[in-house]
Amino acid sequence: MKDPKRQISGSQPQNLNHTSDAQEVEAGESEMTYVERAIRTLAKVIGLEPTKINMWKVAFEELSNLRTTLENRIYKSEEETRGVKNEIYEVIGFFSAFQGLLITAEAQSNLLRCNNAGFV
């Protein structure tokens, strides 16, 4: 005997108490964190419905933009660090060249009769 309440078909059983994604998102507003509120606001600004999928899309885009921004900041700071290192090496190189010039001049001079010749 077949039970009229139970139908066997190839489809999934339906939950009659199921709420839509928009209703679920709306229902959880009181428990939202700052980030969730920000994402909800971004979705509203973009003009998307507050469904879970749309919230995830907006969150992913926002985090991708944030990652790109932070990567650019890191790249710029590394570039500035490299520039400062190069300037320091140039100053050290000029100082060494000048010292070498003074030492060469002192070594080749026959007219120097200074007691502080080693100080150069």
53 within domain boundaries? yes
49 within domain boundaries? yes
The residue among 1 and 41 whose pLDDT is bigger is: 41
Q: What is the per-residue pLDDT across 71-107, written as a single tens digit (0 to 9) for each?
A: 999 999 999 999 999 999 999 999 999 999 888 887 7
pLDDT of residue 116: 58
What is the C-alpha separation between 59 and 35, in angstroms, rounded? Answer: 9
> Which residues span the domain enclosing 35?
21-119
pLDDT of residue 30: 62
16 within domain boundaries? no
What is the C-alpha separation between 114 and 120, in angstroms, rounded? Answer: 10
1 within domain boundaries? no
Q: How many domains does the chain have?
A: 1
- The single-letter DSSP state of residue 49 is -
15 within domain boundaries? no
Hey, is 25 helix, strand or coil?
helix
Q: What is the per-residue pLDDT across 54-73, written as a single tens digit (0 to 9) for each?
A: 889 999 999 999 999 999 99
Q: How far, CA to CA in Å, does 85 sit from each of 3, 50, 78?
A: 83, 50, 10
Handedness of CA 45, 47, 48, 50 (dihedral sign): positive
pLDDT of residue 25: 55
Q: State if pTM tops 0.85.
A: no
12 within domain boundaries? no
Listed in sequence order, the DSSP H helices in 6-51 are 21-27, 34-46
25 within domain boundaries? yes
61 within domain boundaries? yes
What is the C-alpha separation between 103 and 96, in angstroms, rounded? Answer: 10
